Structure 1
């Protein structure tokens, strides 16, 4: 029950936040130098708040029609594709970065661990879209191991996931190394080592869980960066995700996918606000997933920040 209450409250917050994004975005566009308010001043027409609210209502309805009005909702299809790439890249980066970070922390003099730590620094400094282009050139064009463009079977997923995970691996490994360095100095680890607990059991059973919280703490505020990287990599590989409806020819691209738009939703304001709507939804959902994972890994953290004993 506690989780259901937490989950329903977070969903309500997400809905309110998305509505606020639409309202604030439209208001900013309306009063900008290219907005309707400027046109009113040019033609010496008085501002009427009722007309502003009416225009806001029609624009908001058009934005929501853009996301949910097609027979197969455009927003849902593109959103799930981008969310799959974002989450998949984080999982892949964790599978690679966590062992590198652990090795760099407990095997400081090991040459392999040192090379891995150095590689993570290089990975942090390399943009995802640059890795995507290199992978595309060599593995797809030169060696024909994977498709160059498109989205379909499992073979289309490999290169985008690798490109997205490359940069994230560096950050996860670095935060894992920092977290492990702190935990292995704690008294309970020193006491367990003094009792003769094997090193592998010491790391996996006692030090890993508290160390991984530093990685989760990094992931939550970096959600926007992961999503923006996903957008760029999707553009490189022509993936049918959020980038399909965020590029200048987004409406044409979606029409080619077989989706029919309701009449009257085309236009720059609707398109721009729709872009912010999708990005906001991605960030909010990703943060919710990170928060749930954080609470699952640490049972002492209650869903509402209060212990059950205090209720």
Structure 2
């Protein structure tokens, strides 16, 4: 078990190194530089600014210098925000994206798993067809459609919830963005939970329990739920990282000051340090989420411990 954990950690380090390398050279291939859009800057001043940030050096020198800085925990200075440290930008914006991702994950788990479990318990009934129909609608409707509709109905129309803005201390401002972001993940979770529960319900021990007169609810919740959640758990880890990194549209719709807006602005202006740091942060989150998912899967399925 310990050997497998060490192998996964080494794989994660290798993936981060490849991600860093690919992102660095892709950013260098952008057709514009961080200061080319500043029309009013004379050429000699631009040359001094590029020399200050080390952008006048060969690409290979910049790469190894940037890699060494990352190994020492230095993410550099933003080229767009007047030399503000990238670590400070992330420290300011990322907690909001993380809070939004956690709220959306609560919505996904609270809707997807009960819906999938209910659909499996009522297989081939109207409840099953209705639940999976709702799940398909959640998969097909994109966030930029659901978000404005919810904001218009519950925010501007009924005035029950804030339509825009984000207050960390006011949970009411979390509801509409979290629902918009979490519905698609809830739809996938419901389908995965249904498939896992149906597979578990077809096992011999379930038929034995039914023959002994064990109530159906007890069989479903006590004997089948743990094994039936294995496919859903394998999806939860990457999905959570995806919710945090994929909240750019939601942040734009509801005017949420998260990391996504900084990332988009960095791409528009060629702000290499912010792009690189954001990609590395999101990549680290996905690797950690996959790692934790593997550990939970081993806990749910003891047979994996012997592999």
2:284 corresponds to which residue?
A: 281
Deviations 1:156-186 (A, max 9, x none): 2111111112111211111111111111111
Q: Residues 83 and 282 of structure 1 are in contact (CA less than 8 Å); yes or no, is this contact kept in structure 2?
A: no
Shift of 1:126: 1.1
Q: 62, 65, 69: which is aligned to 2:76?
A: 65
Q: Secondary structure at the match of 1:197?
A: coil
> TM-score, normalising length from structure 2?
0.74
What is the count of residue pairs matched by the alignment?
A: 273
Is the 2:241–2:286 Cα contact (8 Å) retained in structure 1?
yes
Q: Given that residues 100 and 173 in structure 1 are in contact (C-alpha distance below 8 angstroms), is that contact kept between their aligned partners in structure 2? A: yes
1:170 and 2:181 are equivalent in the alignment:
no
Taking the TM superposition and a 5 Å limit, the aligned residue runs for 1:147-158 are 147-152=162-167, 153-158=170-175
Matched, 1:104 2:104: no
Aligned residue for 1:54? 61
Are 1:66 and 1:75, in contact at CA under 8 Å, matched by a contact in 2? no
Residues in 2 aligned to 1:268 and 1:73: alpha-carbon distance in whole angstroms? 15
The 1:209–1:110 alpha-carbon spacing in structure 2 relative to 1, beyond 3 Å, is same
Between 81-90 and 201-210, the greater mean CA deviation after superposition: 81-90
Unaligned runs of 5+ in 1: 37-49, 252-265, 307-311
Question: Once superposed, what is the RMSD of the aligned Cα atoms?
Answer: 3.4
| Most deviating of 50-59 and 227-236 | 50-59
CA distance in 1, matches of 2:272, 2:301: 44
Q: Does 1:203 align with 2:220?
A: yes
Which residue number corresponds to residue 24 of structure 1? 22
Q: CA deviation at 1:132?
A: 1.4
Residue deviations 1:58-90 (CA, integer Å, cap 9, x gap) = 4454971359x8597332443333233224323
> Equivalent residue for 1:190?
207
- How far the C-alpha of 1:187 sits from its partner, in A, is 0.6
Shift of the 146–66 alpha-carbon distance from structure 1 to 2, 3 Å rule, reads farther
Contact 2:105–2:240 (Cα < 8 Å) also in 1: no
Partner deviation per Cα, 1:245-267 (whole Å, 9 max, x = no partner): 1122699xxxxxxxxxxxxxx95
Q: With the length of structure 1 as denominator, give the TM-score of the two structures.
A: 0.74
